[in-house]
């Protein structure tokens, strides 16, 4: 019998998760099917009731449900509790667990690039920023500061994780060796022309990590590369959080070196994927 998986969030029109996981099922010969289930907040309770009735074998969770869905799990991992948000539901026996694989997704590219974190500045204070902060702490960052255009939100995040707070207007004055963009600035569409950081303050010896991966090269990443900074792509975070989800569900490890070009082709076109 085909095992059912899916992703919930709202909106979900452009989710790449079905491509990733259905490819994984095919690659390993697993009888599974994964689909996008657009679920507005008011429909979450009814969906989770159906999730258990079917029952579905696993679930990815994205905005706006990463915190609310925790109440529908039987247990939440220590990491999920630490972050205060989860993105994966999986079964162990008859127990439905909630986990956060975004932290692993964030950390893995930095480890593979051999980058020492040092002092880090997190640009943005939403849900993605929480996973970033926990990841930076796990990597042993010497200092972590958060900044956002709304001071109150930055202070709330800083208070939850014992961070420094930097005024948005003074963000370039913070001595960051790593700057992480956890805002939607640079995202394909109406935000594409924006960057969260002044280009004139970027340079060699810095690293930037842009969680936005569409377009392939955001303004922030392009300006950082031009200035001689090391650039880490948010696509790698997406790849590794999905690899960890698939492992939790199936015990199999998706090969990132095969998955990455598949996603690049879907996002940017075949010519760029080959390049």
Q: For residue 246, what pLDDT is reported?
A: 98
Domain boundaries, the chain: 3-100, 104-235
Q: For residue 270, what pLDDT is reported?
A: 56
- Residue 123: phi and psi, rounded to 5, are -95, 110
- Can you name the CATH fold of 104-235? Rossmann fold (3.40.50)
Domains 3-100 and 104-235 share a fold: yes
What whole-number distance in Å separates Cα of residue 95 and Cα of residue 137? 29
Q: For residue 273, what pLDDT is reported?
A: 44
What whole-number distance in Å separates Cα of residue 16 and Cα of residue 200? 34
What whole-number distance in Å separates Cα of residue 23 and Cα of residue 33? 10
Predicted confidence pLDDT, tens digits, the chain (275 residues):
999 999 999 999 889 999 999 999 999 999 999 999 999 999 999 999 999 999 999 999 999 999 999 999 999 999 999 999 999 999 999 999 999 999 999 999 999 999 989 999 999 998 899 999 999 999 999 999 999 999 999 999 999 999 999 999 999 999 999 999 999 999 998 899 999 999 999 999 999 999 999 999 999 999 999 999 999 999 999 999 999 999 999 999 999 999 999 999 999 995 444 44
Nearest by Cα to 14 from 36, 33, 34: 36
* Entry pTM: 0.94
- Sign of the torsion angle spanned by Cα atoms 254, 135, 194, 9: positive
The token pair at 121 is: 């500045």
Q: Can you tell me whether residue 28 is helix, strand or coil?
A: helix
DSSP state at residue 200: G
Nearest by Cα to 40 from 62, 20, 17: 62
Catalytic residues: 66
CATH of domain 3-100: 3.40.50.10860
């Amino acid at each position: 019998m085909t095992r059912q998986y899916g992703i919930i969030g709202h909106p979900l029109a452009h989710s790449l998760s079905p491509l990733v996981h259905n490819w994984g099922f095919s690659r390993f010969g697993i009888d599974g099917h994964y689909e996008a289930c657009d679920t507005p907040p008011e429909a979450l309770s009814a969906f989770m009731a159906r999730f258990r009735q079917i029952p579905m074998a696993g679930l990815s969770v994205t905005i706006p449900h990463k915190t609310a869905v925790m109440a529908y799990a039987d247990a939440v991992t220590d990491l999920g509790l630490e972050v205060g948000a989860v993105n994966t539901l999986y079964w162990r026996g008859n127990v439905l667990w909630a986990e956060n694989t975004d932290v692993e997704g964030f950390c893995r590219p930095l480890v593979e690039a051999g980058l020492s974190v040092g002092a880090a500045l997190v640009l943005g204070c939403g849900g993605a920023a929480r996973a970033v902060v926990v990841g930076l702490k796990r990597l042993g960052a010497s200092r972590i500061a958060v900044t956002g255009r709304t001071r109150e939100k930055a202070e709330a995040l800083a208070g939850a994780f014992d961070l420094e707070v930097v005024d948005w207007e003074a963000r370039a004055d913070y001595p960051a060796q790593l700057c992480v963009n956890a805002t939607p600035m640079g995202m394909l569409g109406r935000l594409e022309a924006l960057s969260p950081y002044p280009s004139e303050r970027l340079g060699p010896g810095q690293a930037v990590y842009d969680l936005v991966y569409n377009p392939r090269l955001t303004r922030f990443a392009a300006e950082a590369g031009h200035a001689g900074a090391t650039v880490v792509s948010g696509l790698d975070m997406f790849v590794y959080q999905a690899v960890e989800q698939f492992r939790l569900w199936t015990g199999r490890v998706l090969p990132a070196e095969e998955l990455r070009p598949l996603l690049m082709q879907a996002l940017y076109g075949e010519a760029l994927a080959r390049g």
